[in-house]
Amino acid sequence: MNKVFCSTGTMIGRPNGRNFRLLESVCKSLDCDGLEFLMYDTWYDKIDEIKEFIPTLDLKVYVFHLEKQIGELISQNRLDEALSRMEINCDLAKHLGAKLLVLHLYNGVISDSNIEYNIECYKYLEEIAIKYGLLLTVENVVCNNKDPMTHLCTLIEKYPSIKFTFDTKMADFHKQLNLLYEEKYRHVWEHIAHFHVNDYLGGYKDWTNLRVLHIGKGDIDFDLFFEYVKKMNYKGSFTTEATSFDQNGNIYPERLNETISKIKEYIA
């Protein structure tokens, strides 16, 4: 059965001081099947504290979103530093009980400007993930230079067994979500192990609207999307990443439950 997870990033961010201890009360009211834990770059001095605290929550961690700067460091030719962080992230992911990793193979302002090098270095990241018994997936992150679907196809050619986390918002930002329904890209489905189900309200590469929205708050046709999810007999999991805290850091779990409920209805 397809599982529906909730990203900790929907609840924890800069406005509430990235205080992961806030999860204790909020998780009690969530109707999801588990968590996708988002690692922040400011938490490396809190690893032991995270290892002790997160397993006490009512919800288990199934997916671990690697710290986003790992790919950015590779783009900057700082491979040793990236691999060091990868090692720390994988150790934490395994301790928390996660099975699947989400990777931004490129990230930040530098984005995919050094993509050939990033793709070449993927093999080193995968080696570390395998060592910890974790499935590494590459996300179709937004690009400054080319586009995510092009990079996914290149990765498939170079690494035939590679797996992806496919984000609906990231795809629609480049107006590429409909490509997923075309025969030409049918083979991409074979590599998708996880979906990020997020809405988007903006035009092509509209950087002013790169927000993570709840289903129904944007323009994505989720009726069509989930029609293909069933048509392709997809057996993987889903995560909602829709921001559910305000500028003061207040968290609104009821908004998350609405989206979680919609996803569950779609895949029922």
- Please report where in the chains the tokens 């007999």 appear, as a residue: 233
- Tell me the mean pLDDT in the region 8-37: 98
Return the structure tokens found at 159: 């690494």
For domain 4-267, give its CATH number from 3.40.50.2300, 3.20.20.150, 3.60.20.30, 3.30.2030.30: 3.20.20.150
How far apart CA 70 and CA 124 sit, in angstroms, is 12
Query: Which of the four pLDDT bands, split at 50, 70 and 90, describes residue 151?
Result: very high
How far apart CA 89 and CA 86 sit, in angstroms, is 5
Beta bridge partners of 107: 111
- Tell me the mean pLDDT in the region 14-41: 98
Task: Encode pLDDT of 184-233 as tens digits.
Answer: 999 999 999 999 999 999 999 999 999 999 999 999 999 999 999 999 99
Query: Which of the four pLDDT bands, split at 50, 70 and 90, describes residue 1?
Result: confident
pTM of this prediction?
0.98
Query: Which of the four pLDDT bands, split at 50, 70 and 90, describes residue 113?
Result: very high
Q: Does the pLDDT value for residue 133 go beyond 80?
A: yes
- Tell me the mean pLDDT in the region 82-99: 98
Q: In the chain, which residue ranges form alpha helices assigned H by DSSP?
A: 23-26, 47-53, 69-75, 79-96, 115-131, 148-158, 168-173, 222-231, 253-267
